[in-house]
Amino acid sequence: MQAEVPIVAGALHATSLAFVEVDRCGLIRAWNPAAERLFGWSRDEALGRPLADTLVPEQLRSAHAAAFARRLVNDDFWPGMRVKVPARHRDGSVRQVGLTINPLPDGFCAFLSDETDHDQAQQELQRSTTLVDAILEHTSAMISAKDLEGQYLFVNAEYERVFQVTAADLVGHRDAEVMPEIVAAAGRRHDEQAIEHGEAVTALEELPFGDEIRQYVVTRFPLTDPDGSLYGVCSIGIDDTDRRRAEAALSETERRFRSTVNNVPGMLFQFRIDLDGARSFAFVSEGSREICGYEPQQLLDDADLIVDLVSDEDRKAYETSVADSMLTLEPWRWEGTLNLRNGERRWISGVGRPFRLGDGSTVWDGMLLDRTTERRTELALEAGRRDLDDLTRRLAVYRFTAIAGASGAPLLTASFGDPRPVLGTGDPTSDLLGAFRRVLGRADHDRLAAAVRAALGGATGELECTPEGTAVRRLWLRLRPSEAGGRRVVEGACFDLARA
Contact indicator for 411, 405 with CB cutoff of 8 Å: yes
Strands 230-239 and 142-147: what pairing?
A: antiparallel
What's the whole-number mean pLDDT along residues 401-429?
81
- Supply the mean pLDDT for the chain: 83
User: Percent of the chain at pLDDT above 90?
Assistant: 22
CATH code at 46?
3.30.450.20
Give per-residue pLDDT as tens, 205-259: 877 766 777 888 888 889 888 888 888 898 888 888 778 777 777 666 666 666 6
Strands of 240-278 (E only): list them: 267-273
- Residue 96 within any structural domain of the chain: yes
In the prediction, which pLDDT does 1 show?
A: 42
Quick one: DSSP state of residue 27?
Answer: B
| Residue 161 counted as domain residue | yes
Q: Which residues contact residue 201 at a Cβ distance below 8 angstroms, ignoring those fewer than 6 apart?
A: 190, 193, 194, 219, 220, 221
The H or E element spanning position 407 is none
189: pLDDT strictly greater than 50: yes
In a domain, residue 264? The reply is no
Q: Does 208 lie in the same domain as 308?
A: no
Is residue 240 within 8 A of residue 219, CB to CB? The reply is no
In a domain? residue 262: no
Containing H/E element for 346? strand 345-356
Q: How many domains does the chain have?
A: 4
Q: How far apart are CA 500 and CA 492, in angstroms?
A: 18
Domain-ending residue, one of 243, 263, 289: 243
Q: At residue 38, what is the residue type?
A: L
225 with 143, same domain: the answer is yes
What span, in angstroms and rounded, lies between the C-alpha atoms of 86 and 93?
10
Q: Give the domain extent around 218.
A: 139-243
Domain boundary among 243, 261, 290: 243
**Within a domain: 426:** yes
Q: For residues 385 and 283, state if they share a domain.
A: yes
Same domain assignment for residues 89 and 30:
yes
What are the pLDDT digits (tens) for 134-174? 767 777 788 888 898 888 888 888 888 877 778 887 888 88
